């Protein structure tokens, strides 16, 4: 599995494009709002002759969903989100303009992500792990063959997701990390929603929130 990352919007949100040898791909957390950002994503897909088959959100805070409708309109794909974050998604239009995104276009999920189930594209299968705390319906996607996690805003390099937003809870987030992420192998690479990639081993040893 190939992971291509793009950093979009004023929140410096990481959007991920996952693909494999079949040419099929999925887009996770499209934060592309400006036309130039949308074009950068589309150009990469065109240049690599990829076939986008699915849109997934790890959670539905505004910086992770700004490009949802663009992706749906451009690639005509299903859109999956955990049901516990539907309310988070539906709240975005009420505050989008206040955050500088008056042109935000809301999109409605066509299906649900469920803990323990798989997201599939091409020859690739990603395990859905439920990790609430930063958002009520937050999930991560785990690819065991390459020891890769697409982590959203749960675990960062030497940090964790904020829990002061609606639906956030610090104790729940720590419990999620300890039960769903820390048991993974030390060399597991975590691609977070903001900032650089890290590994489970590094965060187990050095993350001050997990000591």
Query: Mean per-residue pLDDT for 17-25?
Result: 98
The reported pLDDT for the residue numbered 72 is 98
Crossing angle, helix 68-75 and helix 35-47, to 10 degrees? 40
Query: Mean per-residue pLDDT for 2-21?
Result: 98
Its pTM stands at: 0.97
Tokens read off for 124: 């690739």
The reported pLDDT for the residue numbered 124 is 98
Measured at the CA of 39, the angle between CA 124 and CA 190, to 5 degrees, comes to: 40
The reported pLDDT for the residue numbered 66 is 98
Closest C-alpha to 79, from 102, 95, 70, 44: 70
User: Does an H or E element contain 8, and which?
Assistant: strand 2-8
Query: Mean per-residue pLDDT for 184-199?
Result: 98
Tokens read off for 125: 């299968």
The reported pLDDT for the residue numbered 115 is 97
Query: Mean per-residue pLDDT for 50-71?
Result: 98
Cα–Cα distance between 25 and 19 in angstroms, integer?
4
The reported pLDDT for the residue numbered 98 is 97
Query: Mean per-residue pLDDT for 110-138?
Result: 98
The reported pLDDT for the residue numbered 159 is 98
Tokens read off for 28: 């996770």
Average pLDDT, the chain: 98
Query: Mean per-residue pLDDT for 162-176?
Result: 97
CATH number of 172's domain = 3.60.15.10
Measured at the CA of 203, the angle between CA 202 and CA 207, to 5 degrees, comes to: 120
The reported pLDDT for the residue numbered 154 is 98
Which whole-number Å values give the CA distances from 48 to 44, 52, 69, in the listed order? Answer: 6, 11, 22
Residue 126: pLDDT band (50, 70, 90) is very high
CA 22 distance to own-chain centroid: 22
Is residue 71 within 8 A of residue 103, CB to CB? The reply is no
Tokens read off for 107: 């999109």
Query: Mean per-residue pLDDT for 165-189?
Result: 97
The reported pLDDT for the residue numbered 13 is 98
The reported pLDDT for the residue numbered 83 is 98
Range of the domain at 166: 2-210
Tokens read off for 90: 């539906």
Is residue 139 within 8 A of residue 59, CB to CB? The reply is yes
How many structural domains is the chain composed of? 1
The reported pLDDT for the residue numbered 177 is 98
78-109 residue pLDDT tens: 999 999 999 999 999 999 999 999 999 999 99
Residue 210: pLDDT band (50, 70, 90) is very high
Query: Mean per-residue pLDDT for 11-35?
Result: 98
- Listed in sequence order, the residues at least 6 apart from 115 whose beta carbon sits closer than 8 Å to its beta carbon are 128, 129, 130, 139
Is residue 177 within 8 A of residue 155, CB to CB? The reply is yes
Closest C-alpha to 79, from 117, 40, 112: 112
């Amino acid at each position: 599995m190939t992971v291509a990352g793009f950093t979009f919007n004023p929140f410096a949100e990481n959007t991920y494009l996952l693909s494999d040898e079949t040419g099929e791909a999925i887009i996770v957390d499209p934060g592309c709002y400006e036309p130039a950002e949308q074009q950068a994503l589309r150009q990469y897909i065109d240049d690599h002759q990829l076939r986008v088959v699915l849109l997934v959100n790890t959670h539905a805070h505004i910086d992770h969903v700004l490009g949802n409708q663009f992706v749906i309109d451009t690639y005509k794909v299903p859109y999956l989100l955990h049901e516990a974050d539907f309310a988070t998604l539906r709240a975005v239009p009420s505050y989008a303009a206040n955050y500088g995104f008056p042109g935000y276009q809301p999109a409605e999920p066509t299906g649900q992500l469920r803990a323990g189930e798989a997201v599939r594209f091409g020859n690739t299968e990603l395990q859905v792990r439920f990790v609430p705390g930063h958002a009520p319906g937050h999930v991560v996607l785990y690819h065991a063959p390459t020891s890769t996690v697409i982590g959203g805003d749960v675990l960062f390099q030497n940090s964790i997701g904020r829990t002061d937003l609606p639906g956030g809870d610090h104790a729940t987030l720590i419990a999620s990390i300890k039960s769903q992420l820390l048991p993974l192998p030390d060399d597991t690479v975590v691609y977070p929603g903001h900032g650089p990639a890290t590994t489970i081993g590094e965060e187990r040893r050095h993350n001050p929130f997990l000591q």
